Structure 1
Amino acid sequence: MCCTNMGRSSLIFLVAVLWPTECAVISTETLGPESCRDFGQAFERAFSIPGEVAILECPLQVHYLFNPAETPYSVTWYDERMGSEITKLEQSVMLKKTQVWFFNVTMQQQGKYTCVVRTQSECYKQATGLVVTEMTSENCERPQRGLQRISAHVNDLLVCPLRKYLKSVDSPSILWYKNCELLQEDKKFVPNEDMLNIRKVHLDDAGFYTCKMTFRVAGVVREMAETIECEVKDEYLMKPQMIEPVNEIIKVERGSSFRKDCVVVVRGKGIPMVDVIWKVLLGSEEEFISQNTSHRVHQKPMNESRTKDGFLMVRTLSLSAVWEEDFYLNFTCMASSSRGQPSGQISLVPVDANLFLLLGLLLGSVALLFVTGVLLCTIFKVELALWVRTVFPFLYKTTDGDGKQYDAYIAYPRVLEGSSEKAEIFAMSTLPQVLEGQYGYKLFILGRDGLPGEAVVDVVQDALSRCRRLLLLYTASSLCSPEAQEWAEQQTGLYQALVENSMRIVLLELEEIREPLRLPHSIRLLKDKQGALQAWKRRKRWAFCDGKSEERVTSLEPSARFWREVHYHMPVRGKAKERNWFSF
């Protein structure tokens, strides 16, 4: 916006301290009876014209040298032209704190002046200059003037450089001039003490503006003036607008990472002199967030981009892990510019425990586990039961002492040729190899275990009474003929077991039965009730191999699944002597 020459003495003093080899030669010299630390001559000078008031400011900034509130000090001025001290007795000169006031300054008073600051133990000095020049310009342009820039097409203002003296004088009043013409309040210009408001700035408003201050000091009316060279730039940037954050309260989890963008928009054209910064309020003091990205709490470099109607600034606040101490702090993002300093805040709070959500998740997990368990038990029922029997045999009652001699009675029709021969081979060879050889069961097979000459009916009746299971083997035609039914009826005990269901029966179907209605009625009922173990069916591991989930075996070579099911239906060899309520 506007630029002034205010505060230049402070800047020059810092430059003199930081770069003494370029700006000043610091030495120890004798001024009167004392030895003072010399800071050389300051670059800052005072400019005036004859007949006005000129003010010299001591270039020494005492607060950089010592604490003026705790250390008593005095200020003395020396005129280098005369080599003498300036006193209050001189006419048209007044000493005021750290200033020298020249009333009705003359060309002869131009020169070098030294300010000496003394404490009880130290002495400091630095020189400054007074330049008095005749004003010869027809446009009332002073020899030295400050530059201020204002923007076109908007309302803007100029600031009088003399405003810093308003509190040092009595009854001050300021008048504004443009090219020696006094400016009165109208639709264009609005003088307002130390500022001149210019409405709807136009390019023609550029020029030289003078602010003249009339005041009373030491009972005498005096005046002094400054000229401003005003430039009008055809660029204007609006006040920065804070898009986010806007006083937000954000819930985060402890230990989680967190990022928040501070988004600022500046509309207009020109060079945006805007700085976006994050800070945090700790106690009663505000601290800027570190820009070191290795810190847990830091802010990223500002990202500036041009938009269709202005500029977009984004700066990100980042917390790699949110700690307990971060909660309820006010993190503030501020956009600093000459047109304003909008800001927005966020506060982090811990996430509340949602009991209903937790309960819902818990119940959902339990339901999922239950359904999964039911499905697994249904699919792997046989495998699971066999595993439990092997690992935990003490859960099952022992078969010792139950009065039975055999684990199973093997029955199959022997009256037909063809498929009945396959059943006989399976019963006499394959079944004993697996159940007796691998699992250690004891089987009764008619024709193998009975004594020669015994009546078949008596043998069957007696053997069944000593067996725990009845395994009935049949093929496609072995039970589907009158001869097969006569065979079953001849074995009175077998028929009684089928009809009366006096013992547990396992049906072993060795071939596919395409006409199930031809089976004996008792076999059909039993199959409908408990099913049959189908040795002719083999399940494939992957159903999508050829679009079929099952295949038929051409020979009596059952799958491993079939043998596990047979094993599952055989008596359990437990070790528990008392009855156990766990069973499969």
Structure 2
Amino acid sequence: MVMDVKYLVLITFCYVVGRIQGSLTSKCFPYKSGLVFVTEGEHVRLTCNLYNAFTPLDMSNLQAHRLNISWFKHTSEGGHKKLLGEAGRITYEGTSLGFWPAFVNDTGNYTCSVFNRTYNVSSAGTSLNVHRNEGLCSDCFFSRTESVGKSIRLSCPKLKDYNSKEDNIIWMKDCKDKVHTGNAYTILKVEEKSAGYYSCVLTVGKDGVQYNVTRTIKLKTKGYVERFIPKLVYPGRKEQIEVELGDKREIECKAVLGYKNNLFCMLYWRYKNRFFEINGTVYEGPVRNVSEGNRIYMIRPLVFKGVKAEHLNEPFTCALDCPETNLNGNITLLEKGKHDTSLIFLLLFTTLAVIIIVAVVYVRFKIDFVLCFRDLTSRDETLQDGKEYDAYVLLLKSNEALISAEGETFALKLLPAILEQKFGYRLCIYERDVLPGAASASEILSYINKSRTLIIILCAECMANDSSTYGLMTGLHQALVERLIKPILIEYLPIRDITLLPQSLQLILKSDRSVKWTNESLSQNSYFWKKIRYLMPAKYTKTAGWS
């Protein structure tokens, strides 16, 4: 008997809590406590109001504590009819009463009763309204309003009593367009056309028959108003003003508050982290609000009765304090004509130093930069120009046999070994490629015309060969006068007296198109070969590189 009284008190407490909770959550018409709407032909469940998420006693404990539940439908005559809840169209499902499916004549008021041998507690009534499907999806809905431009997630409401899966919930818009399958539907960016009725349809089965459970959300849209954060318009972080001693000045601090006045914002001045006295030589003027366009601005002046020397070169700070932000701006007074110009000189000096450094680096490594760029871009200047050779090699021999032999070794072996075999250039070497007896003036001119550059190997101040002299004169005339070919002058052996050379050779020797052979030039990565490649036309070859 004591145990029965204990559970009777517990059930009564649950009943009271259930009624209170029902009133607190009754925000969504028509899906609210005590009133349930459903379309005819769909499945619906009525939950006993004695039990909800805040109840410490679960329905599974009823049988263990010898408690039973019954459901009743009130009749029009004022009585009530007990629903047996056996296997069939209307069933007991834990704390719920299930309809498989609901019909119009199921409309009415329902109550549940929990009892044992001694006590019987009834719930508050639940009204079930079953309406016919007339092709409308706005008879019952949850209302939701969102701003245009936002991203939202629509969840299918009031399905906690169902074991739903992602693939058995279908979302429809305005009862006709299928837009999604899953528990929730995401709209990445709400637009005005996004407004409408969104129905989520859950399919549940019983005895091999499929029934629908539908929930509808009516989505309304409204214009998106961006939240405005107040900003300090003037002064900036470091403002400077030129003044004369004794000047009367009024400097305004200005802040924009937004689309309407912000009563929680303060605008004030500080000097050396101190506030200003009302009767001082420098004081704050009254705050005023002005409207410009569709924005509200707050303005507060700082008034100088007369600028003194102690006011110079020290920052005056204007502070904007709002719940959303805290900003500071500073003003420094400089005496006219005497302000510090060291920063300007420092900036100019730094700029000049950077320019000089960049220029020196470029001049020092110009050839390396150009060759690297050619290799990276696979640039080739030898395509479709009609030329047969990349260079015509002309060796100016000396009267001394030893010197001439060294020059011929360089021209016939070392030069083609590097330029032809390593870097893919094609050379026309007079001593190697011009057939004996074919060295006529016209033949030499023909070979020069077929070449892109003219390489002149200079071994001494004088020439002993008439053919080389003619080739030299012809090539120099085309290079210097007609500008049909670019010259490259290689000083293979040091020139003792350049005045003994023809004037045209002296000009090239003094130009940037000459290169001198040294003992360090044996390495193909030496400056000598890099400059030869730099002066030669760009030519793409897989073997070109620095190794």
Short-chain TM bin: 0.3 to 0.5
TM-score, length-scaled by structure 2: 0.34
Kindly name which structure, 1 or 2, has the bigger radius of gyration based on alpha carbons: 1
TM-score, length-scaled by structure 1: 0.32
